Amino acid sequence: MKEVKGFWDGKKSQISLSVPNLSEDTLDYVKECIETGWIVKGRFVTEFEELLAKYTNLEKVVSVQSGTAGLHEAYRLLGVEYGDEVIVPNVTFIATINPALYLKAHPVFMDCDDSLNMDLDKLEDFLENECEKKDDGAYNKKSGRRIKVLTIVHLFGNLINMERVMTIAEKYGLKVLEDAAQAMGSFYTAGKYKGRHAGTVGHVGVISFNANKIITAAGGGAILSNNLDLLERARFLTMVAKTPSPYIYHDSVGYNYNLTNVQGAFGVSQMKKLEKFVEVKIKNYNLYKDLLKDIEGIKLLPFNEGTRSNHWYYTIVVDEEKYGLSRNELFEKFTDAGIQTGPLWGIMSEQKPFKTFQRYKIEKSKYYVKNTLHLPCSTNLKKEEVLKVVEKLIEFSS
């Protein structure tokens, strides 16, 4: 494998892809955790959850230690068990799928469309032609297994058409897990779900507060739902399934997934900045859009109409013939110039642990995995830096 220079070999890029935007006010909260000794449990966890619930118009949310932890619980809460199948997107971060395998479920990989979100036409075809509907739900004709959950991702903060997702899911008796890890701050501005936030339409939704997401809790995540019983169960599982009895007793196998108070301290201070961060994301996106429109062979992916997206990632598709360089060549040139960009993840159906599982008509994801690149998009990215990225993009092709 060819060595590329980058942040991962200890060399810091001059312009990073997506880094946290921290400020010193967080220190006061963290200091309070240290001074009071409340580092695991404490008031910041509660406050963070209240801020999240208020922002997403939910009665309650349950915070957890990571998006992955949240997804693990979410699959379990939706009843996924040994041998069940779950339909998952082929273009996503691997943490969408890993937790289903923790539960010994089988993923079925679904292709993407040109927005890179799941192709809902193919999803319908698959369910219509390859599955059989019985009284208790959909069964995969090929494997004979029950398909319990449909997992969708709002990729890069771009909201998928949940109206259509819910209609399809209902028709086939599937539960919907919304992996909204990247979509904190995105909501619908039109249609049936107008005003509803990412992660609040499906049966359960999960957000991530990893350091590269739009806001961070120094890691962390949250489980969202309108179903209060489900959230109560989520909380119970998060805290090792300990019953209220003073004589410690557990009636399930739980997890230690609760968000810590130190994480909550980060979360509270970051939540207060979320709307500002979205503003910056949109402003920089529009600046890129304006500057990139005349560069041949470079297409900036749009965000869907009828939504207020958080514009988390800025993603370009490189047409090698027109632009003159392949995506990989462009990526390496950026890296050499001290600008950190990101190739799209390798597609999930080709990851080693997933190779034996079923996939359905994988076409578009094979094209996009080779030709897609993310440009620097941090919320502390400056205008001059956007100009520099674009200047390099023009220079490299000539």
Ligand X SMILES: *Cc1c(COP(=O)(O)O)cnc(C)c1O
Residue 40 Cβ vs ligand X, minimum distance, rounded to whole Å: 18
For ligand X, the closer CB: 13 or 210:
210
- Phi and psi, residue 309, nearest 5°: -85, 155
Q: Return the C-alpha torsion angle 147, 230, 52, 25, nearest 10.
A: -100
For ligand X, the closer CB: 183 or 265:
183
Residues in CB range of 31: below 8 A, 6 or more apart:
none
Please spell the DSSP secondary structure of 329-348, one letter per residue: HHHHHHHHTTB--EEPPPPG
For ligand X, the closer CB: 166 or 180:
180
For ligand X, the closer CB: 42 or 220:
220
Q: Where is 271: in which H helix or E strand?
A: helix 261-271
For ligand X, the closer CB: 179 or 332:
179
Q: Where is 276: in which H helix or E strand?
A: helix 274-292
Residue 219 Cβ vs ligand X, minimum distance, rounded to whole Å: 6
For ligand X, the closer CB: 13 or 63:
63
Residue 262 Cβ vs ligand X, minimum distance, rounded to whole Å: 16
Residue 293 Cβ vs ligand X, minimum distance, rounded to whole Å: 28
Residue 76 Cβ vs ligand X, minimum distance, rounded to whole Å: 16
Please spell the DSSP secondary structure of 125-160, one letter per residue: HHHHHHEEEETTEEEETTT--EEEEEEEE-GGG---
Q: Which residue is nearest to ligand X (CB)?
A: 67
**What tokens appear for 156 in the block?**
């890069």
* Alpha-carbon Rg for the chain in angstroms: 21
**What tokens appear for 61 in the block?**
């949310």
For ligand X, the closer CB: 8 or 247:
8
Tell me the pairing of strands 359-360 and 106-110.
Answer: parallel
Among 60, 122, 148, 213, the active-site one is 213
Of 377, 358, 364, 371, give the one whose Cα is nearest residue 119.
Answer: 364
Task: Provide the binding-site residues for ligand X, judged by CB under 6 A.
Answer: 66-68, 92-93, 95-96, 153, 179, 181-182, 208, 210, 221
Structure letter (DSSP) for residue 40: S
Residue 98 Cβ vs ligand X, minimum distance, rounded to whole Å: 9
User: Could you tell me how far CA 32 lies from the centroid of its own chain?
Assistant: 31
213 is catalytic: yes
Q: Which residues pair with 205 in a beta bridge?
A: 178, 224
Contact between residue 96 and residue 151 where contact means Cβ atoms under 8 Å apart: yes
Residue 154 Cβ vs ligand X, minimum distance, rounded to whole Å: 8
SS3 state at 68: helix
Distance CA 221, CA 206 (A): 7
Biggest CA-to-CA distance, the chain: 73
Of 162, 132, 125, give the one whose Cα is nearest residue 146.
Answer: 132
- The catalytic site residues sit at 213
